């Protein structure tokens, strides 16, 4: 794993500041599901993609944090429109890469999984109610990294949101798999060591029987 | 000498030097020396200004001390204390308690003095408790160097809780509360500024101490955080560990740009970490004492179903509300009583007794009715914990009820916790319950919270057991 992480660090376009595409590559190394995607550099040719439609197009920059507010996301693109949508996006952000991804459909709530570094205790992993309102709900649970799957299960049970796993409104979300994902993220923090400053997976959703990280942001120590 | 052996010597010294021992009433050197006079250890007061204190010849300087002193209690002020420690070290004294403040907690000058102490521990291979330490108090060993009033007479011998506290006044108040209401103190250690000995050293010591069955820590900072947590987790397999952690940890978030960083708020991290390592967290000195008392005196709860026995209807309802309240620490539920149990209670009391849980035997009840109803509840397989709401004002209830409850508590595998009040006599009743071996609290909320500590403890053991 050490080599894989080093290779990943070496491959970063903007050293120490991974973009969304690269952040997703990192979590994938730890078995966390991400949508199939392609990163297009400015000016590169693009007609079509082998990825299954529908598509979501996102500006893929390590410096833009809130893509939606800057019109940096186009949803529901199809095989016939994806090339035009890419051009439109490139006009908005002439110097940035564009990420084309399969747009996953999901039901059920969005979760957030994250990592921070505490000055006294080191890396801590968090799970919580995710999405754009995550900081308003403040429905979160923390443990130190690495944490076991059982610990992660306790964390999920601490959430106000946890009754969604009890067949709430017919939802069949896999709690055990989410716990495994939280534990895997904590392993990532442990393996990355001091290099890792913060990490956000928000949202992570349940899609085709797997938890899928729709957006990932990794922050490294300078 | 390894740390465990030197702590053994520090906490149970045979020959003690008191540097700055004094005759002047109210001086720290006077109080500490007077307390130690009760310890039946060999005492060596040192003070150039005194000749004799209470029949003890006072030595003029540290150089005149014999070679085999186990512990020096340094009661003089900061700068002088540093020199005294060095002289004691040269004399071969291995352990030192420094009472004085005025070190790292007051600024740059103090920090320099504290660094000097640290250097001395390395240079002479000595151990220091403090500076700014409240001292140590071990009722069983008859050792007490605490220089503030703390009602030690009321703290029962044979206590089993080791209290390790960083701050002075919080520690003193915990002692005060404990002695007002009865509390089994095994040891009280004031860590102070922790220039040498810290919470991890004492955790490891009391982990091994056969007379300790519960450890409580009041901490403001945990410098070796992970190490403390790892060690505490090992202890929790055998003994409950309770932590009162004040002051938020700082979360080093270089630029708070992540959602996680904004949500961490730092106290969330320590809360999660304590849970992860099987440590029970409390939030003030009262809760600290409540938790350690019940965890030390009662067995863990077999489950979370609570039966409530009351002679006062209002408190029974209130108690039910507290039990059913959604609490993160550990959920409780009202036990569903077996028909046989209800029948037994009716036969023992009145036809009109409300036998649904909470069981209200009314103010017309007497000692016998209370006793037989309690028997029925303890015997019910659907009950894991019994909360007894005992009032001594009704004419049929006498103080014998204390012994009745005690006898059942001591012979039952199920925890029985008592809530009682009696106007200005409340503390006395709680204390008398304690002396009979019964855990009692003067409020409904605290009584129910105590039940949660037992359930939380059972869950921790179950979880740690799964990991084994």
B436 pLDDT band, cuts 50/70/90, is very high
Q: Chain B: residue nearest A140 by CA? A: B263
Closest residue in B to A63 (Cα) is B257
Q: What is the mean pLDDT of residues B150-154?
A: 67
Judge if A197 and A210 occupy the same domain.
Answer: yes
Residues A185 and A197 placed together within one structural domain of the fold: yes
Distances (CA, A) of B292 to A114, B127, B163, B299: 34, 28, 9, 12
B11 burial via Cβ count (<10 Å: 0-12, 13-18, 19+): buried
pLDDT of residue B226: 95
Q: Chain A partners of B226 at a C-beta cutoff of 8 Å?
A: 121-122, 144
Instruction: For chain B, give the mean pLDDT.
Output: 92
CA B447 to chain A, closest CA, distance in angstroms equals 24
Do the chains contact at B249 and A120, CB–CB below 8 Å? yes
CATH number, position B231: 3.40.50.261
Which residue range is the domain that position B252 belongs to? Answer: 133-297
Are residues A134 and B263, on separate chains, in Cβ contact within 8 Å? yes
- What's residue B216's pLDDT? 97
In eight-state DSSP terms, residue B59 is: B
**CA neighbours within 13 Å on the CB side: how many for B27?**
16
A67 located within any domain: yes
List per-residue pLDDT tens for chain A, 222 residues long: 889 999 999 999 988 889 999 999 999 999 999 999 999 999 898 888 889 999 999 999 988 877 888 889 999 999 999 999 999 999 999 999 999 999 999 989 999 999 999 888 999 999 999 998 998 999 999 999 999 999 999 999 999 999 999 989 889 899 999 999 999 999 999 999 999 999 999 999 999 999 999 999 999 998
Chain A residues closer than 8 Å to B272 by CB: 124, 141-144, 155
Q: Provide the number of structural domains found in chain A.
A: 2
Distance, in Å, from the CA atom of B72 to the CA atom of B29, rounded to the nearest integer, reads 12
Q: What is the CATH number of the domain that holds B116?
A: 3.40.50.720
A144 and B254 within 8 Å at the Cβ level: the answer is no
Does residue B124 sit in the same domain as residue B173?
A: no
Instruction: Annotate B223-272 with DSSP letters as a single string.
Output: TTHHHHHHHHHHHHTTS-EEEEE-SPPPB--SS--SHHHHHHTTHHHHHH
Are the C-beta atoms of residues B211 and B186 closer than 8 Å to each other? yes
Structure tokens at A73: 């996301």
User: Chain A window 60-89: which residues touch B at a Cβ cutoff of 8 Å?
Assistant: 65
**Is the separation of the CB atoms in B344 and B396 below 8 Å?**
no
pLDDT tens-place string over residues B43-63: 999 999 999 999 999 999 999
The confidence score (pLDDT) of residue B402 equals 96
Instruction: Specify whether A78 is located in the same domain as A138.
Output: no
- Looking at the structure, do residues B76 and B141 belong to the same domain, yes or no? no
How confident is the model over B378-391, as pLDDT tens digits?
999 999 999 999 99
Check B269 against A142: CB less than 8 A apart: yes
Q: Are residues B278 and B349 in the same domain?
A: no
* Rounded Cα–Cα distance for residues A127 and A167 (Å): 20
3-state secondary structure of B461: helix
Interface of B with A (CB under 8 A): 221-223, 225-226, 229, 249-254, 257-264, 266, 268-273, 275-276, 328, 463, 466-467
Shared domain check, A122 and A216: yes
**Residues on chain A touching B266 (C-beta within 8 angstroms):** 118
Q: Encode burial over B64-77: b for 16+ CB neighbours within 10 A, e otherwise.
A: ebeeebbbbbbbbe
Smallest Cβ–Cβ distance between B249 and the set A121, A141, A198 belongs to A121
pLDDT tens for each residue of B264-312 = 766 889 999 999 999 999 999 999 999 999 999 999 899 999 999 999 9
Residue in A126, A147, A222 closest to B263 by CB: A126
CA angle in degrees (0–180, nearest 5) for A209-A213-A218:
155
- Alpha carbon distance B329, B371 (integer Å): 31
CA distances, B130 to each of A146, A177, A207, B125, B225 (Å):
34, 49, 57, 16, 19
Same-domain pairing of B164 and B291: yes
Q: Which residues of B touch A217 (CB under 8 A)?
A: 258
Tokens of B464: 């740690």
Instruction: Say whether both B266 and B415 belong to one domain.
Output: no
Q: Which of A81, A102, A123 is the last residue of a domain?
A: A102
Vertex B325 angle, CA B451 and A136, to 5°: 125
Strands (E), B23-165: 42-46, 52-53, 56-57, 71-74, 95-98, 127-129, 136-138, 143-144, 161-165
Its domain, for residue A85, covers: 37-102
Rounded to two decimals, the ipTM of the complex is 0.90
Closest-CA distance, A200 to chain B, in angstroms, reads 6
CA dist., res. A25 & res. A33, Å (int) = 10
- Comparing CB atoms, the residue among A114, A118, A126 nearest residue B249 is A118
Q: Are residues A114 and A9 in the same domain?
A: yes
The tokens describing A17, both together, are 């500041």
Domain boundary among B131, B164, B198: B131
Quick one: residue B6, left, alpha or beta (phi over 0 = left, psi -120 to 50 = alpha)? alpha
Residue A180, in any domain of the structure: yes
User: What pLDDT, on a 0 to 100 scale, did the predictor assign at position B266?
Assistant: 60
> What does the alpha-carbon distance between residue B99 and residue B13 come to, in Å, rounded to a whole number?
17
pLDDT band at B254, cuts 50/70/90? very low
Q: Among A30, A201, A28, which Cα is nearest to A130's?
A: A201
Q: Which residues of B touch A148 (CB under 8 A)?
A: 467
B117 shares its domain with B139: no
Position B449 pLDDT exceeds 60 = yes
Distances (CA, A) of B139 to A139, B2, B151, B182, B402: 45, 25, 12, 13, 25
Q: Which residues of A touch B257 (CB under 8 A)?
A: 65, 198, 219
Residue in chain A closest to B225 (alpha carbons) equals A121
Instruction: Check CB contact of A121 with chain B, cutoff 8 Å.
Output: yes
Domain end residue (candidates: A55, A78, A102): A102
B101, B131, B161: which is the final residue of a domain? B131
* Ramachandran bin of B37, using left for φ above 0, alpha for ψ from -120 to 50, beta for the remaining angles: alpha
Q: DSSP per residue over A65-134, as a string?
A: --TGGGT-EEEEE-TTTHHHHHHHHHHHSTTSEEEEEE-----S--EEEEEEEETTTEEEEEEEE-STTH
Task: Tell whether A167 and A127 lie within a shared domain.
Answer: yes
- Residue A152 has φ and ψ, to the nearest 5°, of -60, -35
CA nearest B397: which of B380, B420, B377, B417? B420
d(CA A111, CA A102): 19
Same domain? For A94 and A112 the reply is no
Question: Residue B9: is its pLDDT beyond 90?
Answer: yes
Question: Domain end: B269, B297, B325, which one?
Answer: B297
Chain B positions touching A221 (Cβ under 8 A) are 254
| For residue B251, pLDDT beyond 80 | no
Judgement on whether residues B354 and B440 belong to the same structural domain of the protein: yes
Task: Give B259's contacts in chain A (Cβ within 8 Å).
Answer: 112, 114, 134-135, 200, 202
Sign of the Cα pseudo-torsion (A154, A156, A158, A163, in order): negative
Cβ contacts (< 8 Å) between B330 and chain A: which residues? none
The 10s digit of each residue's pLDDT in A45-92 is 888 888 999 999 999 998 887 788 888 999 999 999 999 999 999 999
Is residue B164 helix, strand or coil? strand
In angstroms, the CA A2 to CA A5 distance is 5
Domain C-terminal end among A102, A122, A139: A102
**Do B277 and B199 touch, CB atoms closer than 8 A?**
no
Q: Do B277 and B188 belong to one domain?
A: yes
Which residue from B minimizes the CA distance to A114? Answer: B260
B253 pLDDT above the threshold of 80: no
A200 contact B CB<8A: yes
Instruction: Tell which phi-psi region holds residue A167, choosing left (phi > 0), alpha (psi between -120 and 50) or beta.
Output: left
Average pLDDT over residues B147-162: 80
In DSSP terms, which residues pair with A199 in a beta bridge?
A115, A218
Distance set, CA A190 to CA A80, A98, A194, B8 (Å): 44, 31, 9, 37
Confirm whether A179 is domain-assigned. yes
Measured CA angle at B326 (ends B321, B331), to 5 deg: 100
Substitution target in A111, A126, A152 with the highest count of B β-carbons within 10 Å is A126
Q: What is the largest CA-CA distance in chain B?
A: 81
- Tens digits of per-residue pLDDT, B79-122? 999 999 999 999 999 999 999 999 988 889 999 999 999 999 99
Q: Are residues A213 and A195 in the same domain?
A: yes
Mutate to test the interface with B, among A116, A132, A190, A197 (most CBs of B within 10 A): A116
Same domain, A118 and A199: yes
Record: contact B276-A151, CB cut-off 8 A: yes
Work out the end-to-end distance of chain A between its first and last CA atoms, rounded to an integer number of angstroms. 22
A87 plus A134 within the same structural domain: no
For residue B381, the 8-state DSSP code is T
In contact, B443 and B414? CB cutoff 8 Å: no
Residue B42 has φ and ψ, to the nearest 5°, of -75, 125
Tell me: do A62 and A86 sit in the same domain: yes
| Mean pLDDT on B183-212 | 96
Q: How far is CA A169 from its chain centroid? A: 26
For B240, the token pair is 């409950």
Q: From CA A208, how far away is CA A206, in angstroms rounded?
A: 7
**Same domain for B3 and B25?**
yes
Q: Are residues B307 and B443 in the same domain?
A: yes
Q: Return the residue of B nearest to A156 by Cα.
A: B272
C-alpha B129/C-alpha B14 separation (Å) is 17
Tally of domains within chain B: 3
Question: Does residue A23 belong to any structural domain of this protein?
Answer: no
- The values of phi and psi at residue B390, to 5°, are -110, 125
**Helix (H/G/I), strand (E/B), else coil: B163:** strand
What would the DSSP string read from start to end of B182-221?
A: ---EEEEEE-TT-SS--HHHHHHHHHH-TT-SEEEEEES-
Contact B272 A115 (CB under 8 A): no
* Residue B460 shares a structural domain with residue B413: yes
Q: Are residues B258 and B392 in the same domain?
A: no
Beta-sheet pairing, B15-19 with B71-74: parallel
Same domain, A112 and A206: yes
């Amino acid at each position: 794993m050490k080599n894989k992480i080093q290779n990943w660090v070496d491959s970063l376009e903007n050293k120490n500041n991974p973009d969304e595409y690269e952040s997703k590559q990192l979590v994938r190394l730890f078995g966390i599901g991400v949508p199939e995607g392609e990163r297009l550099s400015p000016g590169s040719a693009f007609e079509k993609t082998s990825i299954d439609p529908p598509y979501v197009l996102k500006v893929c920059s390590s410096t833009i944090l809130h893509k939606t507010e800057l019109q940096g996301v186009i949803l529901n693109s199809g095989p016939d429109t994806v090339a035009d949508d890419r051009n439109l996006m490139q006009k908005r952000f002439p110097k940035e890469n564009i990420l084309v991804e399969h747009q996953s459909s999901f039901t059920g709530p969005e979760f957030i999984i994250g990592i921070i570094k505490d000055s006294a205790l080191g890396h801590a992993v968090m799970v919580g109610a995710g999405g754009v309102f995550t900081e308003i709900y403040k429905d979160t649970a923390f443990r130190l990294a690495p944490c076991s799957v059982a610990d992660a299960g306790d964390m999920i049970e601490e959430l106000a949101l946890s009754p969604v796993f009890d067949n709430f409104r017919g939802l069949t979300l896999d709690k055990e798999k989410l716990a495994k994902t939280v534990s895997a993220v904590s392993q990532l923090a442990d393996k990355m060591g001091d290099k890792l400053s913060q990490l956000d997976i928000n949202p992570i959703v349940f899609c085709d029987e797997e938890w899928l990280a729709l957006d990932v942001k990794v922050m490294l120590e300078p | 000498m390894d740390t465990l052996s030197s702590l053994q010597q520090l906490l149970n010294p045979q020959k003690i030097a008191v540097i700055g021992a004094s005759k002047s009433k109210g001086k720290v050197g006077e109080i500490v020396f007077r307390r130690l006079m009760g310890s039946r250890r060999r005492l060596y007061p040192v003070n150039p200004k005194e000749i004799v204190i209470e029949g003890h010849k006072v030595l003029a300087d540290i150089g005149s001390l014999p070679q085999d002193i186990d512990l020096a209690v340094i009661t003089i002020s900061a700068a002088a204390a540093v020199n005294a420690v060095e002289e004691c070290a040269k004399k071969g004294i291995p352990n030192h308690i420094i009472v004085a403040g005025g070190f790292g907690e007051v600024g740059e000058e103090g920090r320099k003095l504290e660094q000097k102490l640290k250097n001395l521990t390395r240079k002479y291979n000595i151990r220091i408790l403090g500076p700014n330490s409240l001292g140590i108090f071990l009722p069983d060993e008859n050792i007490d160097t605490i220089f503030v009033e703390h009602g030690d007479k009321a703290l029962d011998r044979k206590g089993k809780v080791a209290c390790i506290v960083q701050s002075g006044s919080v520690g003193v108040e915990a002692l005060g509360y404990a002695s007002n209401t009865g509390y089994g103190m095994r040891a009280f250690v004031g860590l102070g500024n922790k220039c040498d000995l810290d919470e991890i050293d004492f955790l490891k010591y009391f982990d091994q101490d056969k007379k300790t069955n519960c450890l409580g820590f009041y901490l403001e900072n945990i410098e070796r955080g992970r190490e403390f947590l790892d060690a505490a987790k090992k202890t929790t397999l055998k003994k409950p560990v309770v932590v009162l952690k004040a002051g938020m940890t700082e979360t080093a978030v270089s630029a708070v740009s992540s959602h996680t960083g904004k949500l961490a708020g730092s106290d969330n991290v320590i809360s999660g970490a304590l849970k992860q390592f099987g440590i029970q967290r409390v939030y003030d000195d009262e809760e600290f004492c409540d938790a350690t008392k019940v965890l030390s005196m009662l067995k863990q709860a077999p489950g979370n179903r609570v039966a409530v026995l009351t002679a006062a209807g209002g408190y029974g309802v209130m108690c039910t509300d507290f039990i059913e309240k959604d609490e993160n620490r550990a959920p409780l539920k009202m036990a569903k009583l077996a028909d046989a149990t209800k029948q037994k209670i009716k036969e023992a009391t009145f036809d009109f007794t409300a036998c649904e849980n909470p069981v209200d035997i009314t103010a017309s009840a007497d000692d016998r009715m209370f006793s037989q109803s309690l028997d029925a509840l303890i015997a019910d397989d659907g009950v894991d914990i019994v909360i007894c709401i005992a009032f001594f004002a009704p004419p049929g209830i006498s103080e014998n009820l204390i012994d009745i409850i005690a006898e059942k508590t001591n012979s039952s595998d199920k925890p029985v916790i008592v809530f009682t009040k009696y106007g200005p006599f409340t503390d006395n009743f709680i204390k008398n319950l304690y002396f009979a071996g019964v855990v009692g609290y003067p409020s409904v909320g605290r009584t129910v919270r105590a039940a949660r500590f037992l359930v939380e403890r059972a869950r921790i053991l179950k979880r740690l057991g799964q990991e084994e």
